[in-house]
Structure 1
Amino acid sequence: MKTLLAGNPAVAGWAQAPVSPWSRFGDDEWLLDIRTAGRRADQNRIGWALELPEGAIISETAWRSLHRTAKQFLWSMTVNPPTGRKRLSPASVHSKAVTLKTMIGWMALDGLETFSSIDAGAVERLRTWLPTRPGLKAKSITANTIVNYMLVLKDLYRQRAKLNDAPLVDPLPQETTYEAAGLTPATRGAIPFIPDPIAISLLNAALQWVENHGPTIVRAETVRRQAHEAGLTQGTRRQASDHVRKALRRINLTGPAGEALLGAHAVRHAATRLVEACYIVIAGFVGMRVSEILSIEIGAIESHPIAETGVEQAYLVARLFKTVDQHGGRMERWIAPEPVVKAVELLEQLSAPLRKASGRRELFLVKNTQYGEVVPVTHMHIGWRINDFARHVGVPLHEGEPWAFSTHQFRKTFARFIARKDRSQLLGLAEHFKHASVAMTARGYVGNDFDLRQLIEHENRAETATALERMLLSDRLAGRMGERIAANNARFRGRAGEQVRRDYIEFVLTDTDLRIHACDYGWCVFQRETSRCGGEVGPSEAGRSPAVCLGCANMVIELRHAPYWRDRRSRNLDLLPRANAMTAAVLTEVIEQCDTVLTRIGEKDE
């Protein structure tokens, strides 16, 4: 193989090929050209000059040769990948380099001096070692992580003709990389959506900070900064601090919890929390990825007319990195509801001093405490800060524990909300969108984001599967469709009907276009021809209501919806004593509807 490669000028000169404008593939230090917003500086560098690990049983020469082959492999995947595969992006080069370096460390401990010596037995030893390797923060790693190692092994074999050293036999001849990693639907795992009570609490708190307290905090921070600068020109830092306190006492502002903003620490703390609230509002009401939000720059809000209506719609302009070929991302627009516009305005004011000091344009900036340098906020940093904000505003516990927020959960939660088209409390927050319907929100927000459309469809399927499961198991359903299902679903119930039920749900999801839509008072098994609300492809938000849906052939109500019907009954009962005769008749009819529903779903049983 080496002779063949030596005669190929393109392959022989691989080490001199550029991996970035600043580094070559043969270098022992790579500075990669990765422009995705939110990455730490160390995630743009790869160092290859590593010492043999303690306990290694291979030679220094073999150790260096393995690293040289790893660099050659990454070169081959960047300039000439296997048929049907995309060339590695700079970010993928970094992630695969990290995987290779870990794998080479294991090879040194296992006694493997070349990649060509990797066989099926070595693959099994690697799989056993990975979950227990030293330095892991947790006691195990996910199957998704092990897949990355199996894929590198498979690609080393596929690229063997382009490498000086590679596995000579297929290391995974009988199974896919996913099977080798033990990745099944049960072990795959998924980023969770934020539970409704947690999401409602956090988004509501963030909205309060942005809409009600944002201007006050910005004013206090502006006074603090200006007073500090003025104080420094007149004396020492201590005198400047006194100047700040006097200036803040004169304006006498209070923070979101009623606390007095009379000192520099209180004001800066409030300003930091306000930045976090702005991020949460953007993430929760637009569904953007963290990299897209952190790429937002000054002047990101644009207004454009909607067709020929004469109505202006605000858009948020940022960079889309994932799924695009343009290096550095592609400028894209997302519909910006009013709270998001407000959040961006606040961020522009809060970041102005940092932008001025650094010459940068991003709105999410922070001053590095170690070096005093102004740098963009990273993905990891904003993740910590979201959890700090949640603790600060007292977001309720989930099953007795604080909910661990991650940045991508907001996108997943947004997709689930759009998929459900739920008229519950989350939709109450959506009134801030100022949209005629949630359908408009779904179409407008998704825009060109194909990945988000797929995520929404996935959540829609999951919601349909959940609803079908509950309906087929229940013998107490209300609504015209619910009564029909309850009368004919005996074969799906219990353990005897488990497989039949599972097969039927799979058939519905795979071979039909049926989708079940949620609202706070029931499920809509939508069929256009029998829809009373006038919906075309789903229930009409403007046309549906409890009274309309109760007379619709598509409606199903189950026990989980009882709180809505109890509350509706209670509210009408409260109004009844003070109502005139005509109003009383209407109220009585509504109360009787509620009683009928509650009886049929079993809520009123002894």
Structure 2
Amino acid sequence: MDWSFVAPIATRISAIEFQELKEACKQFLWSMTVYPPQGRKRVSQSTVHARSSHLRVMIEWMATEGITRFAHIDAPAIEKLRGWLRTRSNTQNKPITPNTIAIYMTIVKDLYRQRTKLVDGILIDPLPDETPAEAAGLTNATQGTIPFIPDDIAIAILSEALRWVEEHGETILSADRIRVEARSRAQHCRDPGKPSRLARRALAEAGLVDPAGRLISGERPLQRALNHLVEACYLIIAGFVGMRVSEILSLQAGAIETRPIGETGVNQAYVIGRLYKAVDHPDGRIERWIAPFPVTRAVGILEYISEPLRILSNRGDLFLIKNHTQEVVVLTPAYIGWRINNFASAACLPLHEGKSWTFSTHQFRKTFARFIARHDRTQLLGLANHYKHASLAMTSRGYVGTDFDLSELIDEESRAETEVALERLLLSDRLAGKMGERIVAGNGQFRGRAGEQIRRDYVKFIMTETDLRIYACDYGWCVFQHETARCEGIAKPNEAKRAPDLCLSCNNMVIEDRHSSYWGDRRMRNEALLPNASPMLAAVLNEAIEQCDRVLSRIGS
């Protein structure tokens, strides 16, 4: 952190007093890292760095107001600071957001909470009747929530990232090897321009193209391709692992580890990073996340690209960059967020409601959680394996965990899915499954224009007054009721016992037209086995085919 800045031109305090304010800021930040308020974890290095910028703004304002010490700040000064913050603009020349003002109010509150540990702290409670968020004007109605990425946008950007990594990653790395080898041939040459000329010539002769079909004809196009490849690797880790941005940016060389799964003889790859949330130590805690193949490939690419900067800086991080002073540093969350949107612009993604979608790093984690919630069949396994709530085995116990952030996300999306499904089922006149047949028999009042308001009121009543949840799977919906669940699920369907045959005999099952492809495929697969089947197997196959026929007939397919 650079503390060499001086007091503003309009200052009303002396240089010595301004220096004392800077020293008070340093001591406050230090106290937050080694001795935070009771019940709070130590702040991370990135948070300390960000707060130093906010503190600089605060003490520059204090200097113009003639306030020489934090201890001199009183209630009128807090109101004046809050009003002044509302007049400030950000780098886009727009008023700063209430979220930013809330950060300043939190700092003010913490200067009061830490007062006994500081030489100079705020002595009176600056916000006795409201929280920092409330003081900044944030309410449940105004602050909103981080949105999940719409399905078509998420599929498009992750497909593009996969294309960069799996189809073109090796081509781009080959181009970089050609560049390095060409430059090495001129490393002892006195002509400073010869390495670049040799690199350009070698790349032109290789005739390699990037994913957009452009020729990688020089070092600048190659660097652009390498930058996009790093962004694609980040997107794959975020989209297919769901780690937080701090956890992804903590990845080091050698982050992939392979371990056997019990005594099965099968190996599973894991990505090793640092978990920071709810961990007291500022350096986090080493943890492992299941890594599908694209993620292991992405980490391998990052290891190759980051190697020169790792050697130069003697660091092990995978997300390294040179800053404006040519110092090698780890990418910040804000900068990787900007680069994600840069990648999206180059990828020409589909528009959402007529506009380009703006990505943030946390959206990928929320979208990952939404995927788990909507695809109930793998929900427990995903929670157990990925969020380390319990054993890695496929057991229903895996759903029980302590990641309340994820649980809230899943509950939110489960409610949304239930509401949409309930609306559709009340409109349908063709449903299969025992619950489906009951719904069709009694939902006449909800259909058509006449039943629209009745249906809307009924759905609203169900969602606000009951804990009903509808769980999805490939072959139907489960309108879950514990008392009648054949799978013996307690709070939701038991994934270990759930199967088409069992669900068809369960009072909770609903099947609609959208599931016809599953039942049609199941029928064809069983029918294909009939010619070579033994009599006993043929009886089983015919029974399965008859089940499919009954379902398809009920849903009109």
TM-score, structure 1 length as denominator? Answer: 0.71
- 1:231: how far off? 4.6
Q: 1:36 matched to which residue of 2?
A: none
- 1:526-605 paired onto structure 2 within 5 Å: 526-527=480-481, 530-531=484-485, 538-539=492-493, 552-555=506-509, 564=514, 591-595=552-556
Query: Partners of 1:584 and 1:518 in 2: how far apart?
Result: 23
Which residue of the other structure, out of 375, 379, 384, is the alignment partner of 2:338?
Answer: 384
Which residue of the other structure, out of 254, 262, 280, is the alignment partner of 2:235?
Answer: 280
**Does 1:196 pair with 2:151?**
yes
- 1:212-251 paired onto structure 2 within 5 Å: 212-232=167-187, 236=191, 239-241=194-196, 243-244=198-199, 247-248=202-203, 251=206
Query: Partners of 1:393 and 1:74 in 2: how far apart?
Result: 41
Which residue of the other structure, out of 242, 261, 280, is the alignment partner of 1:306?
Answer: 261
**Does 1:101 pair with 2:56?**
yes
Q: 1:50 matched to which residue of 2?
A: 6
**Does 1:445 pair with 2:386?**
yes
Partners of 2:33 and 2:43 within 8 A in 1: yes
Partners of 1:82 and 1:158 within 8 A in 2: yes
Deviations 1:176-233 (A, max 9, x none): 3343333322223332222111111111121122222222322232123212322555
Q: 2:534 matched to which residue of 1?
A: none
- 1:453: how far off? 2.9
- 1:588: how far off? 6.5
**Does 1:129 pair with 2:84?**
yes
Query: Partners of 1:524 and 1:400 in 2: how far apart?
Result: 35
Partners of 2:253 and 2:316 within 8 A in 1: yes
| Counterpart secondary structure, 1:524 | strand
Matched residue count: 525
Q: 1:462 matched to which residue of 2?
A: 412
The structure-2 alpha-carbon separation of the partners of 1:96 and 1:298, relative to structure 1 and needing over 3 Å to count, comes to closer
Query: Partners of 1:497 and 1:568 in 2: how far apart?
Result: 29
- 1:380-529 paired onto structure 2 within 5 Å: 380-421=334-375, 437=378, 439-447=380-388, 453-470=403-420, 475-477=426-428, 478=431, 480-481=434-435, 487=442, 505=463, 508=466, 515-519=469-473, 523-527=477-481
Partners of 1:461 and 1:515 within 8 A in 2: no
Deviations 1:27-47 (A, max 9, x none): xxxxxxxxxxxxxxxxxx152
Which residue of the other structure, out of 141, 150, 168, is the alignment partner of 2:105?
Answer: 150
Query: Partners of 1:163 and 1:357 in 2: how far apart?
Result: 39
Instruction: Return 68-77 or 582-591, whichever deviates more.
Output: 582-591
- 1:470: how far off? 4.1
The structure-2 alpha-carbon separation of the partners of 1:532 and 1:254, relative to structure 1 and needing over 3 Å to count, comes to farther
Deviations 1:282-330 (A, max 9, x none): 1111112223222322222211111222211111122333432334333
Query: Partners of 1:516 and 1:384 in 2: how far apart?
Result: 38
The structure-2 alpha-carbon separation of the partners of 1:395 and 1:551, relative to structure 1 and needing over 3 Å to count, comes to farther
Partners of 2:42 and 2:281 within 8 A in 1: no
| Counterpart secondary structure, 1:170 | coil
Q: 2:316 matched to which residue of 1?
A: 361
Letter in 2 for 1:458: E
Partners of 2:484 and 2:508 within 8 A in 1: yes
Partners of 2:321 and 2:328 within 8 A in 1: yes
Segments of structure 1 that go 5 or more residues without pairing to the other structure are 1-44, 424-436, 597-606
The structure-2 alpha-carbon separation of the partners of 1:129 and 1:200, relative to structure 1 and needing over 3 Å to count, comes to same
| Counterpart secondary structure, 1:47 | coil
CA RMSD of aligned residues (A): 4.5
Segments of structure 2 that go 5 or more residues without pairing to the other structure are 391-399, 531-541
Q: 1:170 matched to which residue of 2?
A: 125
| Counterpart secondary structure, 1:182 | coil
**Does 1:342 pair with 2:297?**
yes
The structure-2 alpha-carbon separation of the partners of 1:234 and 1:208, relative to structure 1 and needing over 3 Å to count, comes to same
**Does 1:183 pair with 2:138?**
yes
Query: Partners of 1:389 and 1:79 in 2: how far apart?
Result: 38
Partners of 2:374 and 2:414 within 8 A in 1: no
Letter in 1 for 2:7: E
TM-score, structure 2 length as denominator? Answer: 0.76
Letter in 2 for 1:442: L
- 1:139: how far off? 3.3
